[in-house]
A and B are shown apart, each in its own frame.
Chain A
């Protein structure tokens, strides 16, 4: 399976904009970039996804490099509720559509 590399942890202060990086140097042309987040004692929650173009929704902005070898999840004005483990995942368009989770980035938010 294709791999992603994320920092183990990051810290932010409430109200700041957070940039969570993800490296995926061996990404294939048919692979989507997905972001999920997970808080303790809950299942993963979908955040956003993209293929080539930057995307935005109510939760986050996803910036994808032009060569698609890296991406950045941007969380504007974080709150304490955004503290979670953020997973960057590559998902092919075919097959069983399984998600392969790594360790992700633990985002801590300070009041």
Chain B
């Protein structure tokens, strides 16, 4: 069964600190995605990747970086965390092509104080 895991599941950070959210998939999918979800909004795409070494900007990339060191791992990096980045973050993986579903991780709840 397709599996996407995220760590940590919960994180409290201070303003100005660096935060790294990690995602691992065992599906051997080429594409991976980072979304955030806030009350009153649907999921919004931050960064995505087509494969190891590739990162692309999504719809709301400002304040975030991404890293894809391998097929399995995709990280989201907040170099200088701000309270506006308090949110729930979801990672997903999927194969390219319109008829391919995405599999989501359980989410990371980030609070920036």
Contacts and interface: CB of A to CB of B under 8 A. Distances in A.
Contacts of B98: 30-32, 51, 91-94, 97
B104 interface: yes
A101 B43 CA distance: 5
Contacts, number: 64
Contacts of B31: 96-97
Contacts of A93: 97-99
Contacts of A101: 35, 42-44
Contact of A96 (B35, B56, B99, B104): B56
Give the contact-size bracket for chain A.
Answer: 20 to 34
B17 to A, nearest CB: 25
Interface in B24-40: 31, 33, 35
A102 interface: yes
B99 A49 contact: yes
B34 to A, nearest CB: 11
Contact of B107 (A43, A45, A46, A87): A43
Interface string A76-111: 000000000001000111101111111110000000
A97 B97 contact: yes
A43 B90 contact: yes
Contact of A32 (B35, B99, B103): B99
